[in-house]
Chains A and B, each alone.
Chain A
């Protein structure tokens, strides 16, 4: 099982601020993912990466951006936070057909 870390766990921030949500995994998994989970519980894929220097947009359009400079690190950035970005953000990584999740970051934009 993978160890996946997300920081911060909770963040309350004002409109217009730039924020970066951190995600790291220690198992050397090539594939990593960001999901957004809305209050109705459903998860939507917003970004994924097959490996270093590889990033793709997911099924749900998002104003966030991601980077993958190192295998273990997959940060998500919002250049200008808005109240519509209030949600839970879950990071995951996978090996073969097993996908493992971090604890999530709950973001509130006021």
Chain B
């Protein structure tokens, strides 16, 4: 079957903006998510967007959704060293019950001074 795809690695300089991209599989997915995982830790829910929205902003985070292309992005403004982590996008496919999430492969963000 199709996978939720992300680029594996992104490197940015401190203070720049980061954009992490994701291509998901199900055009009928109702909710799409971004999670952050720091080394040795579980996943932290950063934000999520309902499928009838194009954009959602929460402080330094901006989520953009292009349903036609099944493309989701996370922009982090003024990226800090504390933002270094792995970022996962996830969807709830329309065929799944119980709010089961399908995750992408994760993008490792490295913030350099």
Contact of A85 with B by CB under 8 A: no
What is A's interface to B at a CB cutoff of 8 Å? 1, 4, 6, 31, 33, 40-43, 45, 48, 50, 56, 58-59, 90, 92, 94, 97-104, 106
Instruction: Give the size range of B's interface with the partner.
Output: 20 to 34
- The answer to whether A42 and B105 touch across the interface, beta carbons within 8 angstroms, is yes
What is B's interface to A at a CB cutoff of 8 Å? 30-31, 33, 35, 40-45, 48, 86, 88, 92, 98-101, 103-106, 108
23 contacts between A and B (CB under 8 A): A33-B100, A41-B86, A41-B106, A42-B104, A42-B105, A42-B106, A43-B43, A43-B88, A45-B100, A50-B98, A59-B100, A92-B43, A94-B99, A97-B31, A97-B92, A97-B99, A98-B48, A99-B101, A101-B42, A101-B45, A103-B42, A104-B40, A104-B41
